[in-house]
Amino acid sequence: MFNYRKQTLGFLLKPVILTLIILVFITTFLSAALIFPPDEYARRRARLMEHIGDGLAIFLGAKTPSGDYQFYQNNDLIYFCGVEIPNAILAVDGKKKESILFFTIAEKEAESQGLPLSLIREPQKVTGIEKVLPLEQFPGYLAGLNNQGRTVYTMFYSEELMRENSREKYNALQRTMVLDLFDQRLTKELQFVYQLRNKFPRLRVEDVSRVVWDLRKYKSAAEIEVLRQAGRIGVKAHRAVIQATRPGVTEKELAALFEYYCLKAGAQDLAFNTIIMSGKNHAFGHYHAYDRTLRDGDFVILDAGPDFKYYNVDLSTSFPVNGKFTPRQKELYQKALLVRQACLNSYRPGITLRQVSEEAKKFLQEKGLSPEDRDLRGPLRYGGYNHSVGLATHDVQATFSGLDEVLKPGYVFACDIQVIHPEEEIGIRLEDTIVITETGYINLGEGLPRTVEEIEELMKKDGVIQVLKRNKVY
C-alpha cells in the first residue's frame, strides 16, 4: 500500500513539475529580451498612473542612429518598458489603466540590431504590455485622443542616451541650438510638444519630466542588483588601471585599458568618458584629453565607471604614478581618506545630509582635524554627497532638499571626497557609489584599494601593460 501511494503521488507530481519547468523556461526565454521581468516595468507604469490620474503619458523612444553606431534606447523608455526597438513609442493610459507600445521593425533589421526575435514576434508576451500596435497607427491614435479632449503628459526635457544626462543635455542644447541666433531649432521633445499643440488643439499637453525623475529617484531591489554588478565591473577595471600605471605610460593607454576591462566583463559601454587628471590638469574638474605621458612623481585621479544594462556607477581613485606616496601626497591623501570614512560612518536611512555633515565633523575633531580646514569644508558641506546615480551618472531627481535631504532606502548617490591642490599638481578624489538600505548602506566601490598601504601593495605587481611589454607583444 505504501509503495502504491508513493508511485501514485510521483505519477501525479510529474506533470505538475514538468509544467512548472516549462513555465519557468518560457518566462525566462520571453523576459530575456528585457533587463528585468515584465512585472518590474508594470509596477513602474502603475506608479506613473497614480500621478497622471485620468491623463495619458507618451514617451518617445530613441531614433535609429544617424551613423553606423550601435542602437541604445533612451532612459525614459528603457525605464518604463525595457524595449530596445528604434523609433518605438510608449503610451501609458491612466484612465484605462493600460499601456500601448507602438513600433514597426522588420525581423531582418531587428537581427541586425542584435534584438531577440521573440520581442518582435511576441511583444505582448515578452513585455507584458496590454496592446502593441504598428507605429503607423500612432497619428490616428492621437486624433482619437484629440476628439476626447484628453490631457497628454510627455517629457519636455531632452532624452538621455548613452553617456548623457538629461538636464545637462537640455541646458547645452538650449545654449547651442534653441537659443542660438543662427539655429533656433527646437529639441526633439519640444518639437513634439509644438506639433501636438498645433495639430491636435483639443489636447492639453503637460510636462511629465519631474514626475518621471522622482519615480527614478529610489531604486528597486532589482535595480540595485544590476548596480551591484556594475560596481564589481568598475572595481576590477580601476584595479587593473592602478596596477598598470608606471612612469612612461600614457593616459591614453590607461583610458583604453579601463574601457577594455569594462567591456570584457560585460558592460555595454562606459557610464561617461573616462576622466584622467595628472600634472597641471588637476585644476580641471573633468579632463579627458589623455594628452600626457606620465612622469615619475606625478599623481593621478582616475574618475571612471561602466554602464551595465543601462545602469551606471561612478568611482574615483587617486594614486602615485611610481607606486610610492611622497610625504606630501600621503598627508593630503590620508586627510581625504579620513573625511571619506567620517561620511561613510554616518550613512543610514532616516538621517539628513546636514546630520551626516555634523556627525562627520565630530569624527574629524576626534581625529585631530579641524572642520574649518579649507581642504575639508567642501567635502563636508553635504556630508560627502555630490549627485544622484542611476540610469544616468548624474541621475535626475525633481525633489532634492539640499542639506535637509533625508536618506531613504533605495537612494543611490556619489560620495565624492575631493582635496585638490593644483598649484602642487596634486589632486585627491575618492568617490564611491552608495546605496541606502533598510539597515545602513552598500558601497558599490567595495574592493577598491583605498589606504596608502593597499595602493602601494597593488602597484608592486606588474599590470597588464608591463606583462605585455615584458613578453614583447605590446
The mean pLDDT of the chain is 93
Query: Is beta strand 98-102 parallel, antiparallel or unpaired with respect to 131-133?
Result: parallel
Q: Is 260 exposed, middle or buried (0-12, 13-18, 19+ CB in 10 A)?
A: middle
With 60 as the cut, is the pLDDT of residue 258 above it? Answer: yes
Domains and CATH numbers, the chain: 32-216 (3.40.350.10), 221-470 (3.90.230.10)
Q: pLDDT of 266-297, one tens digit each? A: 999 999 999 999 999 999 989 999 999 999 99
Q: pLDDT of 301-323, one tens digit each? A: 999 999 999 999 999 999 999 99
Helices (H) and strands (E) in the chain, counts: 17, 16
Q: pLDDT of 392-405, one tens digit each? A: 999 999 999 999 99
**pTM for this prediction:** 0.92
Q: Is 384 left (phi over 0), alpha (psi -120 to 50) or beta?
A: left
Contact 131, 99 (CB under 8 A): yes
Contact 103, 131 (CB under 8 A): no
Residue 326 CB contacts under 8 Å (≥ 6 apart), including other chains: 297, 320
pLDDT of residue 33: 87
> Which one, of 234, 223, 167, 169, lies nearest residue 387 by Cα?
167
> Which one, of 296, 301, 356, lies nearest residue 326 by Cα?
296
Q: How far apart are CA 386 and CA 408, in angstroms?
A: 16
> Which one, of 268, 219, 259, 253, lies nearest residue 236 by Cα?
259
Q: How many residues does the chain have?
A: 474
Phi then psi for residue 256, to 5 deg, are -65, -40
What is the grid cell recorded at 147?
Answer: 476628439
Q: pLDDT of 11-65, one tens digit each? A: 334 444 443 333 333 344 444 689 999 999 999 999 999 999 999 999 999 999 9
Cα distances from 170 to residues 175, 249, 262, in angstroms, run 9, 37, 28
